[in-house]
């Protein structure tokens, strides 16, 4: 089969769409975004499969870090994720849909053990309520149960809300989790 493209820009767009679709069909991964900057030059940004949002308690002892992971990496063993209107996840991957696994990491930055009670999490309109209190030794972390749903793989930010209590106070947190670029991920955590 022979394709004839009208101009260079059409070729670039066709190649980009083909690469994006072929990568989603096999396994959910990061994403490459191409756009034209203010100077009229093409710029490329490579995104990881991780979104992140952070918040600290008033005394700075507890850092809460909401992380959304795209793909099956953080889906617990034995949990079957289904995509509505699809026979299996492979079909959903071909359409650019992947697992969204949202978790809150509570990190104890204080000098003594703390107790944190996660209350709820909401990501992309999906909600999960919690019930257990987490006991976190100094310098360690605990992770909430995951909120899992199927969503698009091309977003670069997502609204988030979560609530927890610590030190006799309730924290109601709202914000926007931003997708980390591969450069940001490597700079912050030392990996791609």
- Domain extent listing, the chain: 48-189
Q: What is the mean pLDDT of residues 96-108?
A: 96
Instruction: Name the residue with higher pLDDT: 147 or 41.
Output: 147
**Whether residue 2 has pLDDT greater than 80:** no
CATH number belonging to domain 48-189: 2.60.40
Spatial contact of 154 and 21, defined as CB atoms under 8 Å apart: no
Average pLDDT rounded to a whole number, residues 4-16: 37
Confidence label for 170 from pLDDT (cuts 50, 70 and 90): very high
Contact 120, 130 (CB under 8 A): yes
pTM assigned to the model: 0.81
pLDDT at 6 over 70: no
For residues 18 and 82, the model is more confident at: 82
Answer yes or no: are the C-beta atoms of 63 and 54 closer than 8 Å: yes
pLDDT for 115-131, tens place per residue?
A: 999 999 999 999 999 99
As a whole-number percent, the residues of the chain with pLDDT over 70 amount to 84
118 φ/ψ sector (left φ>0, alpha ψ -120 to 50, else beta) = beta
Q: What is the pLDDT of residues 136-149, one digit of tens each?
A: 999 999 999 999 99
pLDDT band at 30 (very low <50, low <70, confident <90, very high): confident
Backbone φ and ψ for 187, nearest 5 degrees, come out as -65, -40
- Cα 131 from Cα 119, distance rounded (Å): 6
Q: At residue 27, does pLDDT exceed 50?
A: no
């Amino acid at each position: 089969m022979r394709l004839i493209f009208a101009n260079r820009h059409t070729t670039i767009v066709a190649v980009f769409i083909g690469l994006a679709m072929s990568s989603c069909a096999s396994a959910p991964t990061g994403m490459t975004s191409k756009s034209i900057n203010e100077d009229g030059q093409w710029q490329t940004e490579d995104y990881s499969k991780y979104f992140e949002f952070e918040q600290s308690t008033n005394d700075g002892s507890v850092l809460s870090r909401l992380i959304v992971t795209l793909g099956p990496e953080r889906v617990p063993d034995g949990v079957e994720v289904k995509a509505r209107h699809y026979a299996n996840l492979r079909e959903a991957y071909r359409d650019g849909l992947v697992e969204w696994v949202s978790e809150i990491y509570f990190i104890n930055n204080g000098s003594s053990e703390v107790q944190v009670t996660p209350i709820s999490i909401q990501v992309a309109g999906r909600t999960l309520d919690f019930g257990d209190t987490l006991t976190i030794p100094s310098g360690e972390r605990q992770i909430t149960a995951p909120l899992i749903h199927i969503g698009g793989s091309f977003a670069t930010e997502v609204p988030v809300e979560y609530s927890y209590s610590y030190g006799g106070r309730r924290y109601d947190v709202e914000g926007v989790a931003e997708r980390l670029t591969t450069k940001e991920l490597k700079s912050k955590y030392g990996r791609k």
